[in-house]
Structure 1
Amino acid sequence: MRVAVLGPGAIGSLFGGRLARSGVDVTLVGRPGDHVTALDRDGLRLTLPDGTTERVAVDVTTDPAGVGPVDVVLVCVKAYDTRSALADATSLLADAAVCTFQNGLGNPETIAEFVPESRVLAGTTSHGATLESPGHVRHAGVGDTAVGNYFTDTSETATALARALTDAGIDTDVVADAPRAVWEKVLVNVGINAATALAGVPNGRLADTDPGERVLRRAVEEAAAVAAADGVELTTDPVAAASRVARRTAENHSSMRQDLDRGRKTEIDALNGEIVSRGREHGIDTPVNETLTDLVRLAES
């Protein structure tokens, strides 16, 4: 299997680095910047959950046209960059399956504007990763990972990708209902990301403090009501699932917190903001998510 990772941020670098370490032919495709420069010059410095650090040689480029044919493209860019990133990387998409490993709702639908629905995969993960400095990623917490076809029945490519990730140390299940898996991941992110970003705390504080637990629970309960109105049948208690992820990644700084700390745009519109929008369509009040969304937007400004 030949893989391209579009967007080598924290998760993209973690997955790409682990795949490369296991012998998969993988290329990280990113925009020019200090992180890509460091990866190209020194390889990926990866700090593992046990505190040990290893150096992984990775193939990295800023030119998608120079990569050549691939079997799978892992999309790890921010949700608001999905369309522009794919438009810039059409040379990678000719025969490839395209798998989103992104936060939020709507990414598979955007990918389907570029490739047939039969080649659209969706992946979810609760592994925690933090970009500590250019070229250095900390694997901050281990969690569940799943992949599946988003619009069609499970393909051989989805099964092969899950096997490759598992062999690389990212235990991955194949799921038949990828839309539900995406929603379940969104419910986790809705409970964790905005609250930790605004409070400036690691994920674990939402599970081991009363205020954190209340904010997480109320945000997730609102979002679960919207998911039900959207026709999603959840298989797990979404509040318990979000709390479990917060504990597993207790020392991790959520991606949204990292974005606010670095003065970057966040994915709030694809997460809590999308819950608010869909809640309005269904006549469901979402005051906690609306407040979290407004506060993150205010912090961004």
Structure 2
Amino acid sequence: MHYGIIGAGAMGYRFGVLLQENAGVKVDFIDTWQPNVEKVREQGGVYAARNHENRHLVPIDIFYPEEYKGQPDAWIIFVKQMQLADVLKRCAPLFNDQQIAFSAMNGMGHIDKIRQYFADDKIIGGTAMIATVLNGPGDVDFIGEAGAGEMHMANYTEEINPQIKAVEADFKAANLNPIVTDNFMGTLMAKVVFNAVVNTLCTMFELTMGQFIEYPGAKEMATQLMNESYDACERAGIQMISTRQEEIDSVDYVSRIGNPLHYPSMYQDFSKGRPTEVDYINGYIAKLGREHDYVCRTHEFITHEVHLAEMMRKYKK
């Protein structure tokens, strides 16, 4: 298949480069961040490393939306939640009825926006337990050993159709370790509830995942947040793909063993002065709860705490 990556950031580069290098498929990158596009063109590709080693130049084709003329079979969308509506609007002339749209973005809110451009049976949602760091324009670092981590994916209609099987085959060849499910919301929420613990707490206290899990009360904190998340999902009729305990254990394993040196993506945004996606993670869980007569008090408090930390940055200059 031919893929178009919308959003050449940390995860967009990771999926695109691995599909190009390991699966041998055609990949085009579409981005709206001018320093990134121009840097890639200047150096003839993107510099990619793994665990800060073996940094090498990967030749790629990158375009602004308005200049792209390709017709990919599938789009892979990795854009910050706050920017997605504008980016999709710029890309809209590139879409057609036959194309698939896959996204494994952090948080929730992106699917409703994607549905404005693609039919439900063409939309695949996913999660990716894969750590990646964008060092700067045209410079990305894949965290974790090759083949480590996994991802889940489901069609919006929850059918396992030929299109999702084709994407699954390419993702397997790319060494992304995809797992197809027939539970759309349960699949997506599994990553949201994970990020609502690790991303948010590591950001507020400027910690790596390993530093967070070192705290003796980390498991208790994770359990409190997970219980609220699962209570909200149950009231909303969302059947999760993993149990509460499995998610708590996942926080411990990924933080302690999988990526102990990793700063989550929310921290990467926060540390560079950018807005975080907390409203689409903890804020989304809190909103889901209130819509079903359940108050997620810890998630609501933490959402305010992150916004307070964002505001306080102006006093640290």
Q: Deviations over 1:71-115 (max 9, x none)?
A: 111110012222222111112321311111201123222211111
Aligned equivalent of 1:259, options 253, 256, 269? 269
Identity, % of aligned pairs? 23
Cα root mean square deviation, aligned: 1.7
Is there any run of 5+ residues in structure 2 with no aligned partner, and where?
Answer: 312-317
Q: In the alignment, is the contact (CA less than 8 A) between 2:158 and 2:183 conserved in 1?
A: no
In structure 2, the residue matched to 1:201 is: 207
Is there any run of 5+ residues in structure 1 with no aligned partner, and where?
Answer: none
In structure 1, the residue matched to 2:25 is: 24
In structure 2, the residue matched to 1:290 is: 300
In structure 2, the residue matched to 1:93 is: 95
Aligned equivalent of 2:252, options 243, 249, 264? 243
Residue type of the alignment partner of 2:121: S
- 215-224 vs 126-135, which moves further: 215-224
Are residues 1:127 and 2:133 paired? no
The equivalences for 1:29-48 within 5 A come to: 29-42=30-43, 43-48=45-50
Cα separation, 2, equivalents of 1:85 and 1:152: 26
SS in 1 for 2:143: strand
Task: Report deviation, 1:152.
Answer: 4.1
- 212-221 vs 180-189, which moves further: 212-221
Residue type of the alignment partner of 1:35: N
SS in 2 for 1:53: strand
Residue type of the alignment partner of 1:217: T
Residue type of the alignment partner of 1:61: F
Residue type of the alignment partner of 2:26: D
SS in 2 for 1:207: helix
Task: Report deviation, 1:270.
Answer: 0.7
Cα separation, 2, equivalents of 1:92 and 1:249: 37
In structure 1, the residue matched to 2:315 is: none
Task: Report deviation, 1:65.
Answer: 4.9
Residue type of the alignment partner of 2:20: A
Give the TM-score normalised by structure 2.
Answer: 0.89
Residue type of the alignment partner of 1:102: M
Are residues 1:140 and 2:140 paired? no
Between the two proteins, the alignment pairs up a number of residues equal to 301
Residue type of the alignment partner of 2:201: A
Q: Find runs of 4+ consecutive structure 1 residues off by over 4 angstroms.
A: none
SS in 1 for 2:262: coil
Give the TM-score normalised by structure 1.
Answer: 0.94
Q: In the alignment, is the contact (CA less than 8 A) between 1:105 and 1:270 conserved in 2?
A: yes
Aligned equivalent of 1:82, options 57, 81, 84? 84
